[in-house]
Amino acid sequence: MENWLTKRARLTPTRVAVTDGQKQMTFSEVAQAAAAMAGRIAMLKSAQNHDRIALLMVNNLSGYLVIMALQQLGKTIVFINRRLSVAEINYQLSDADVDIVLTDDHYEQKLVVQQQVKFSDLPIGKPVTPTSDYPDDFVTSIMYTSGTTSHPKGVMQTYQNHFMSAMGSALNLGLTANDAWLTVVPIFHISGFSILMRSLLYGMRVVLVEKFNASKINDWLIHDTITTMSVVPVMLKTLLAELPDGVNYNDHFRAMLLGGGPTDKQTLQQAQAHHLPIIQSYGMTETASQIVALAPEDIQEKLGSVGKPLFPVTVDIRDDQGQSTAVGNIWVKTPTLTPGYLNQPDQLNKNMSSGWFNTEDFGYFDTDGFLYIQGRQGDMISSGGENIFPDEVESVYAKMPGLENIVVIGVPDEKWGAIPVAVVSGTHLSMADLRTYGRERLAHYKVPKHFYRAKTWYRTASGKVQRHRFAQALTELQALK
């Protein structure tokens, strides 16, 4: 495929590509600025010698332009979650065999890497001639996602993955010449980055928002001609709580794309009172964003469903051996599927069967063909749009002195959807020490919000922890002070 930015700048040079509310840039201006930024990055010795460059940034124009610049250089971007601890980031940098990381100007932590350069410290260089085309199978992005093992895995995403994801989204949401997508979900996550990729293909405006502020975003959605916004449940609830009665978003607004968990009846009723179309969706980093969506006209009758598969996605319910069943694992066949996990060529194959991928989510179809998700194999906790895997948290705490056992489970939470809590056993344990230990080694959202002292340690005959039994016994346990 021809370089997406180059082609878009030629097709619609004067159309606005991106804005942060203070400054806006056309596609032609983005192409010129990206070529100039690419020239600065190319001056770095490590950038000349390595195909992968790690990136730490926030949702602003500088981060956006660095992403575009790296694509003009034909580099693979290793996206790093800015909320992670230094130890977590260093693991990912080492695993990705990265020697250079570019950071926004406000990131102050020192990482274990040959070159760590802030955007403003990039040397002066001459604009480069952008790479002419993007091979379909070229890995343009790598995003780390936790798994049921103790270490996160680098999900590789190709241009073909992103292209087919954009096509599926377009066929589901539709397109207009004046589309504008407000982007407050992190652009280092697939939910945010996919919007940037769609912008180049659709020719739509991206509105970058660095921090979630419900009042400011509501004001934007009321007075600007924004048509779409991606949210997680906690964002949607907060926006609706701040939206005055009788006030609706602008007449061009077409869809609130909801991911990271289902909505509830009360939130749905609030949205309907404001004539706010909600599209519940389901996807994962491995599938380059959403692959299933629930149309607004179905949300009342099919509350709790994530909808129907998009074009060109096929979904089936099978057991973990790949045999069809009414209720079981959600298997997908889609051209948006990752070619694999970085440095772990066998990991994807463990979940593959004749071109089908086992998502390890559990669910079922109703008689009308709508997909419902019951939970995740490995007991993943979805909290405020972030995925938390208990095994990862437990492996970090396993090294804490005095802590003999820990099991992490998710409990429902009105604000975040779910939060992690932990049941522990050991000597001289306190809430303060456990929380401090976790916050020094994990992203804050992964640290259990409460710790309970175990009465019994539930295990199977083979020694495996019975997580569900701890969840059932939680109300009987005493919380640590």
Average pLDDT over residues 58-82: 97
Over residues 436-475, the pLDDT tens digits come to 999 999 999 999 999 999 999 987 544 567 788 898 899 9
Residue 151 has pLDDT above 80, yes or no: no
Over residues 247-270, the pLDDT tens digits come to 999 999 999 999 887 777 788 889
Residue 272 has pLDDT above 60, yes or no: yes
Residue 175 has pLDDT above 50, yes or no: yes
- The two three-digit tokens of residue 312, written as one number: 């060109």
- 241 alpha carbon, distance to own chain's centre: 24
Residue 148 has pLDDT above 90, yes or no: no
| Fold topology of 381-479 | GMP Synthetase; Chain A, domain 3 (3.30.300)
| Rounded Cα–Cα distance for residues 141 and 143 (Å) | 7
DSSP state, 427?
S
| Rounded Cα–Cα distance for residues 86 and 83 (Å) | 9
By percentage, how much of the chain surpasses pLDDT 90? 77
Kindly tell me the burial class for residue 63, based on how many C-beta atoms sit within 10 Å of its own C-beta (0-12, 13-18, 19 or more): buried
The answer to whether the bond into 312 is cis (omega within 30° of 0) is: yes
DSSP state, 127?
P
Residue 87's nearest CA partner among 448, 450, 437 is 437
Residue 403's nearest CA partner among 393, 416, 414, 413 is 393
Return the CA Rg of the chain: 23
Domain ranges of the chain: 4-365, 381-479
| Rounded Cα–Cα distance for residues 257 and 232 (Å) | 8
| Rounded Cα–Cα distance for residues 356 and 30 (Å) | 39
For the chain, what is the total number of helices (H) and then of strands (E)?
Answer: 14, 27
CATH code linked to domain 4-365: 3.40.50.12780
Residue with tokens 């998502």: 359
Residue type, 392: E
Q: What is the pTM of this model?
A: 0.86
